[in-house]
Amino acid sequence: MQNSRLSDLVETWSQAKQAEKMAIEKRRKAEDEITKICDINPAHEGTVSMDIDSYKVKIESKFTRKVDSDKLQELADESGLTDHLFTLFRWKPEIEMKAWKSADPAITSVLIKAVTTSAGRPSYSITTEE
């Protein structure tokens, strides 16, 4: 009885995942068309808002910026600008798990006090066999 229920849930998940994928594709195509019709230039950051029938539409164009922290620190050191780093940039330390697991427990047992760990939602991948 348990296997039948599990099989039904896997089938439901698989169908929902396919519907989700199709919905995302459909939404993105609509967004692309709206961008074209509204003559939105993705090379410019900013927000365009408009009312269309009973809808309020807000289109926000953003740039993604990635910072090479080593290069940034090197440039700041060379130019005497190190004091500005903490006001102009956010620093987000992340655990390097491979190094963390192989580090001396005398080190990690102290530093672990600055780390909050919580369980994440499991990720699923269910495929059909052909």
Domain extents in the chain: 1-64, 65-118
pLDDT in tens, 37-83: 999 887 888 999 989 999 999 999 888 889 999 999 999 999 999 99
Q: Which pLDDT tens digit goes with each residue over 105-122?
A: 999 999 999 999 888 887
Query: Which tens digits make up the pLDDT trace of 10-32?
Result: 999 999 999 999 999 999 999 99
| Coil/strand/helix, residue 64 | coil
C-alpha pair distances (Å), 110 with each of 45, 103, 106, 114, 116: 43, 12, 7, 8, 13
CA distance 21 to 14: 11
Rounded to the nearest angstrom, the gap between the alpha carbon of residue 126 and the centroid of all alpha carbons in its chain is: 22
C-alpha to C-alpha distance for 17 and 126, rounded to whole angstroms: 9
Report pLDDT for 17: 95
